[in-house]
Amino acid sequence: MQTRKLGNSNLEVSAIGLGCMRMSHDESPLPDKQEMITFIHAAVERGITFFDTAEVYGPFINEELVGEALAPFKGQVVIATKFGFQPNVDGSHGWSSLNSRPEHIKQVAEASLKRLKVDAIDLFYQHRVDPDVPIEDVAGAVKDLIQAGKVKHFGLSEAGAQTIRRAHAVQPVAAIQSEYSLWWREVEAEVLPTCEELNIGFVPFSPLGRGYLTGKIDENTTFASVDIRSRLPRFTPEARKANQVVIDLLAGIAAQKGATPAQIALAWLLAQKSWIVPIPGSRKLERLEENIGAVNVQLTPDDLREIETAISKITIQGERYPSNLQKLTNR
């Protein structure tokens, strides 16, 4: 597996990471825990060293799963987790509010350390920007945790360019995590240039469009009620049918390259910048191996121009999030 460095930090990770959320979140029934531990071990064996989780996934049980699975590989892998939501007090699925108050950040860090079974959190993201807490206070709290040896690197998720600059001035930001894929490119306007200027790594979540860009979802696909896609405008049957043109584009290039649409989508991301590390989520070995195979797909400048020309003529149908969730992004 090739490795990449996230920006200016000394944080070196596999060129493709693994998003672990759906191993114990947004699913009914939840996957078998032991099967997921075995799966994570298989990922390590295949060279994956970058794993993404969060306190709110579950809540709590995803961190416990990742911590247990990766305990035998201490010092060999990088685990990213997140703070910033107030999980439901009854332990039920979801969250009640944002909460990035400094005292809460420090409480979350202590709890995450225990669940992850680590001495220090490799990468600690603010999950979403909290408008009620100045970002300088958030960065200051993480700086305290770094100085105490409890966190190694600071990250932000779905933050806007000005917020990134303000945070970085207090505590250097190692990585920004936001959605980025061939069908969601908003970060190209301001966020990616800011990352390049400040030497910050970028970690695309949903790099396969929550599975859509694999070509295995169509207008007839059904989603469980707990699956977030059942509530997203971009995943209505009408939007899925209209957006099939994107899959057709990927499939055409994939056929030329002896690859799959998913591999082309990931290879396209890897080709954008050397400091971009996508974290597709998967729970099946064949999907994991397919995703890893993307690092061997070489897209030439001509290929990239062809993709750019074709995608520029396509209007993606459906908003990324409903309005109540959209307001949490790009602050």
Domain boundaries, the chain: 3-212+273-296
Residue 200 CA: distances (Å) to CA of 118, 254, 317:
24, 31, 31
Round to whole Å and give the CA distance between 228 and 18: 19
Answer yes or no: are the C-beta atoms of 68 and 36 closer than 8 Å.
no
Answer yes or no: are the C-beta atoms of 127 and 56 closer than 8 Å.
yes
The mean of the pLDDT values for the chain is 94
* Helices 285-292 + 261-272 axis angle, to 10: 40
Which residues in 126-160 are b (16+ Cβ under 10 Å) and which e? bbbbbeebebeebbbbbebbbeeebbbbbbbbbbb
| Per-residue confidence (pLDDT) for residue 39, from 0 to 100 | 98
Q: At which residue do the structure tokens 């469009």 appear?
A: 209
Check: CB of residue 125 under 8 Å from CB of residue 112: no
pLDDT score for 116: 98
- Token pair, residue 193, equals 């240039």
Q: Is 61 helix (H, G, I), strand (E, B) or coil?
A: helix
Q: Could you tell me which residues come within 8 angstroms of residue 47 by beta carbon, excluding any fewer than 6 positions away?
A: 1, 14, 292
Question: pLDDT value at position 23?
Answer: 96
Name the more confident of 329 and 168: 168
Residue among 169, 326, 311 nearest 245 (CA): 311
Radius of gyration for the alpha carbons in the chain, expressed in angstroms and rounded: 19
The mean pLDDT value for 144-164 works out to 98
- pLDDT tens digit sequence for 63-118: 999 999 999 999 999 999 999 998 776 666 667 789 999 999 999 999 999 999 99
In this structure, what token pair is assigned to residue 67? Answer: 């911590």
Q: Give 157's contacts (C-beta < 8 A, 6+ positions apart).
A: 82, 84, 125, 126, 127, 128, 176, 177, 178, 205
Residue with tokens 């409480």: 107
Q: Residue 87, preceding bond cis, omega within 30 degrees? A: no
- The percent of residues in the chain predicted with pLDDT above 70, rounded, is 98
pLDDT band at residue 300, thresholds of 50, 70 and 90?
A: very high
pLDDT at position 331 is 86
pLDDT at residue 25 is higher than 80:
yes
C-beta separation of 70 from 40 below 8 A: yes
Q: Contact 154/174 with Cβ under 8 angstroms?
A: yes
Sequence-distant contacts of 27-34: CB under 8 A, at least 24 apart: 27/224, 27/226, 27/227, 28/224, 28/225, 28/226, 31/283, 33/65
Q: Which pLDDT score, from 0 to 100, does residue 2 have?
A: 96
Domain 3-212+273-296 has what CATH class?
alpha beta
User: What pLDDT is stored for residue 326 in this prediction?
Assistant: 74
Q: Regarding beta strands 3-5 and 12-14, do their DSSP bridges make them parallel or antiparallel, or are they unpaired?
A: antiparallel
**Would you please indicate which residues are annotated as catalytic (active-site) residues?**
57
Q: Which residue's structure tokens are 């100045």?
A: 134
Token pair in block for residue 224: 């469980």
Query: Tokens representing 254?
Result: 């994939």
pLDDT at 7 over 70: yes
Residues 6+ away with beta carbon under 8 Å from 165 = 194, 198
pLDDT digits (tens, 9 = 90+) for 253-273: 999 999 999 999 999 999 999
- Integer Cα distance of 109 and 63 in angstroms: 12
Q: What is the pLDDT of residues 161-206, one digit of tens each?
A: 999 999 999 999 999 999 999 999 999 999 999 999 999 999 999 9
Q: Report d(CA 203, CA 230) in Å as an integer.
A: 25
